[in-house]
Amino acid sequence: MSAVKNLQWKRALSTLRFSHEELEYAKEVSRQAATEFEAYYRRFCAERNVDISNLEKQNKQRLDDYYVKEISPEQVEATIASGSIGDSSITLYQNNQQEDEEYQMTADEIAIHDSFSKLFKKLALKLHPDRINKHLEEDEKELRAKRFKEANEAFEKKRYFSLLDIAEKYGVSTPRNYKQQTRWMKREAERIQQLIFKERNTYNYGFAEAETEEEKELLMRKFIFQLFRINI
């Protein structure tokens, strides 16, 4: 591999790794903020005599629909400010029709999956509890068993960079199809960025980012309008 191609591969690898970290961060922020968001929402409605239970009954079909499909931006842009902020389990304002289409793997994806499948099998020969050298120290056996679980999870989630890290630690040769890896990693990073964007456009994440009471109240008004089509 030429010096330039090597730099491109390392850059794509670094970008993909960082994208995964950002996605995990966004998910954790949303998860941590969920309870506080719910409590604020209940308090906000109670202070304004908004009967949540009654509204939920009256809008049951609408709420059910939000969990299975998305509404178009045109339905809300005329009434509330733009910016797709929705409950973490209700993603609104995004038109992801392509998600409904049957997904087909590209040639690169098939090749990459096959390459890292072989790498995972090579790692399993060193790390699987049934294949670990019996003469190793107990601490080392436990560490390798832990690494095997990490490798298995990484393979299932297509976090192939983690497989590369583990392979380096144990002197296992890695796939050499660098051009395909670079192309795949760039596309995968773009896909992860879309997931990050979606996660950041949830109410939970938006609530965590809100710095003032005014911002939180505006968030609640948007949320209530989206769910029940009423202005508070």
Higher pLDDT, 102 or 194: 194
Q: How confident is the model at residue 86 (pLDDT cuts 50, 70, 90)?
A: very low
Query: Do residues 54 and 115 both lie within one domain?
Result: no
209: containing domain: 3-94+201-228
Supply the pTM of this predicted model. Answer: 0.79
CA–CA separation, 130 and 45 (whole Å): 57
Q: What angle do CA 25, 27, 33 make, to 5 degrees?
A: 100
CA pair distance 23, 35, nearest whole angstrom: 20
Looking at the structure, tell me whether residues 207 and 189 fall in a common domain.
no
Q: What is the per-residue pLDDT across 198-219, written as a single tens digit (0 to 9) for each?
A: 999 999 999 999 999 999 999 9
Residue 184, both tokens:
């795949």
Helix (H, G, I), strand (E, B) or coil at 86: strand
What pLDDT does 105 receive? Answer: 77
Task: Tell whether 111 is covered by a domain.
Answer: yes
More confident residue, 61 or 189: 189
Residue 71: how many CB atoms within 10 A of its CB? 17
Mean pLDDT of 61-65: 79
Q: Is residue 119 part of a domain?
A: yes
Structural domain count of the chain:
2
- Whether residues 82 and 162 share a domain: the answer is no
Establish if 36 belongs to a structural domain: yes
Q: Are 116 and 175 within 8 A, CB to CB?
A: yes
Looking at the domain assignment, is residue 129 inside a domain? yes
Does one domain contain both 152 and 174? Answer: yes
8 and 85 assigned to the same domain: yes
pLDDT in tens, 7-33: 999 999 999 999 999 999 999 999 999
Residue 113 within any structural domain of the chain: yes
140 and 113 in a common domain: yes
Cα separation, 28 vs 99, whole angstroms: 24
Instruction: Kindly state the average pLDDT of the residues 174-190.
Output: 95
Cβ-count burial of 193 within 10 angstroms (0-12 exposed, 13-18 middle, 19+ buried)? middle
Mean pLDDT of the chain: 86
Q: Report pLDDT for 94.
A: 44
With cut-offs at 50, 70 and 90, classify the pLDDT of residue 171. Answer: very high
> Can you give the pLDDT at residue 61?
86
Tokens of 223: 């949320």
Q: 29 and 72: one domain? A: yes
pLDDT confidence band for 224 (50 / 70 / 90): very high
What was the pLDDT predicted at 69? 52
Instruction: Assign 64 a pLDDT band (cuts: 50, 70, 90).
Output: confident
Note whether 54 and 119 are same-domain residues: no
User: Is there a domain that residue 130 lies in?
Assistant: yes
Q: What pLDDT is recorded for position 65? A: 74
Cβ atoms of 167 and 147 within 8 Å: the answer is no
Helix residue spans in the chain (DSSP H): 3-47, 52-58, 60-66, 74-77, 107-127, 138-156, 160-169, 178-200, 203-209, 213-228
pLDDT at position 102 is 59
End-to-end CA distance of the chain: 62
| Three-state SS sequence of 96-119 | CHHHHCCCCCCHHHHHHHHHHHHH
